[in-house]
Amino acid sequence: MSHKIAVIGGDGIGPEVVHEALKVVRAAGVHFEATDFDLGGQRYLRDGEVLSDDTLHTLRSFDAILLGAVGTPEVPPGVIERGLLLKMRFELDLYINQRPFLGIAPGHERPHDFVVIRENTEGPYVGEGGVLRKGTINEVATQGSVNTRMGVERCIRYAFQLAASRERKHLTLVHKTNVLTFAGDLWQRTFNEVAKEFPKVDTAYNHVDAACIYFVQDPHRYDVIVTDNLFGDILTDLGGAVSGGIGLASSANLNPARTGPSMFEPVHGSAPDIVGTGKANPTAAILSAALMCDFLGEHAAANHIREACTEPTEGSTIDIGNAIAARLHKH
Ligand code: IPM
Ligand code: MN
């Protein structure tokens, strides 16, 4: 079967790393038809399109979206992030952001294989709020956080299902229930209720500030973590940093209900400072493509790709892509 993949290389190093990721997927024997979408900061500067409803409609007909990175220093913060990335997450209902940390960096002997499940459609990301008397000394800015029972519950249930399927069967809720008492209470109660459906899963709770200490000092305590959108954003950068660097951190923006395509992207950004130098590590994009293969039912290819990424590889972006692809050709 040939999968229809929409490719958004985006800005900066995005197109470079996505090119290597597609090379590796091809080498893994997965049949696909890739269609390029010219979107991101550079496209916006050219003709003003961020993500039109027409383009979004076209994207809906694909099996998956592979994205490199978007954002460019010439465009004010938020325009591309909200208008492209978050618009896809919200409109395609990609309510799970799954970010595995495999600990495959040199010197890490599989030290902490854990995964963060980040809620991806609510919290402070919804853009609720506003500003009054802008630019005056009486300026007021509010930024709300939306947490719905439905949104919290479907995220927590997904995390329990994932934890139940893993060897350790351990799930930690991370929040800030001692300060964010309204949202925290909804998350904790929902967590406790859903836990009853999964008696084999051991559970724990950490405040997000304490979780930052454990990520650095004792990551072995974690198997699966579930958390809200903003805490998940911050914690997964830290997760990348403590498990070999952001150049290895992959992510899947999932619509588990499969009412549309899911989107796969490295956690890192467009890194305009190193574009064209060959310094970008394509491994995060390659591992994101492995997550895509999993979601498309190509589990053998996904596992082979992950295996091929565990051997340390040196060199330029293209060298690393070629080396990983070459390991797969041997299968
Ligand atoms: C991420 C990124 C995005 C986020 C930005 C670019 C909007 O940091 O995917 O982690 O905050 O979710
Ligand atoms: Mn982030």
What pLDDT score was predicted for residue 120?
98
Which residue's CA is the nearest one to ligand 1's atom 11? 233
CB 163 within 8 A of CB 171: yes
pTM: 0.95
- Ligand 2 centre to CA of 324 (Å) is 26
Same topology, domains 1-94+256-331 and 97-254? Answer is: yes
Yes or no: say if 255 and 93 are a contact pair by the CB < 8 Å rule: yes
Question: How far does residue 306's CA lie from ligand 2's centre (Å)?
Answer: 22
Contact 322, 282 (CB under 8 A): no
The Cα 264–Cα 176 span in angstroms is: 28
Q: How many CB atoms lie within 10 A of CB 326?
A: 12
Spell out the residues 6+ positions from residue 173 whose beta carbon is closer than 8 angstroms to its own.
156, 187, 188, 191, 203, 204, 205, 206, 225, 226, 227
Judge whether 169 counts as a catalytic residue. Answer: no
Atom of ligand 1 nearest to the CA of 86: 7
- Residues with a beta carbon under 5 angstroms from ion ligand 2: 233
Nearest atom, ligand 1, residue 70 CA: 6
Tell me what pLDDT residue 105 has: 58
Please give the distance, rounded to the nearest whole angstrom, from the Cα atom of residue 251 to the centre of ligand 2.
10
Homologous superfamily (CATH) of 1-94+256-331 is: Isopropylmalate Dehydrogenase (3.40.718.10)
Here the tokens at position 243 are 């498990």
Tokens found for residue 70: 């978007």
Please list every protein residue whose CB sits less than 6 Å from any atom of ligand 1: 81, 85, 233, 267
Which residues contact residue 150 at a Cβ distance below 8 angstroms, ignoring those fewer than 6 apart?
none
Distance 197 CA to ligand 2 centre (A): 31
| 158 a catalytic residue | no
Distance set, CA 224 to CA 94, 144, 164, 300, 314 (Å): 19, 27, 10, 23, 30
- Residue to mutate (ligand 1; options 51, 67, 81; most atoms within 8 A of CB): 81
Write the residue with the smallest CA distance to atom 5 of ligand 1: 81
Catalytic residue status for 233: yes
* Residues whose CB falls within 8 Å of the CB of residue 256, separated by 6 or more in sequence, listed in order: 95, 96, 158
Q: Which residue carries 């295996």 as its tokens?
A: 307
Tokens of 191: 């967590």
Q: Which of 36, 185, 218, 237 is catalytic?
A: 237
Tens digit of pLDDT at every position of the chain (331 positions): 899 999 999 999 999 999 999 999 999 999 999 999 999 999 999 999 999 999 999 999 999 999 999 999 999 999 999 999 999 999 999 999 999 998 765 555 555 689 999 999 999 999 999 999 999 999 999 999 999 999 999 999 999 999 999 999 999 999 999 999 999 999 999 999 999 999 999 999 999 999 999 999 999 999 999 999 999 999 999 999 988 888 899 999 999 999 999 999 999 999 999 999 999 999 999 999 999 999 999 999 999 999 999 888 889 999 999 999 999 986 6
Q: How far apart are CA 324 and CA 310, in angstroms?
A: 9
Distance CA(246)–CA(72), nearest Å, equals: 19
- The catalytically annotated residue of 176, 222, 223, 228 is 176
- Domain spans, the chain: 1-94+256-331, 97-254
Residue type, 49: E
- For residue 273, indicate whether it is catalytic: no
Please tell me the residue having the least CA distance from ligand 1 atom 4.
Answer: 233
Q: Under CATH, which number does the domain 97-254 receive?
A: 3.40.718.10
User: Quick one: DSSP state of residue 146?
Assistant: B
Q: Catalytic residue among 44, 125, 158, 222, which?
A: 125
The reported pLDDT for the residue numbered 313 is 85
- At residue 95, the 3 state secondary structure works out as coil
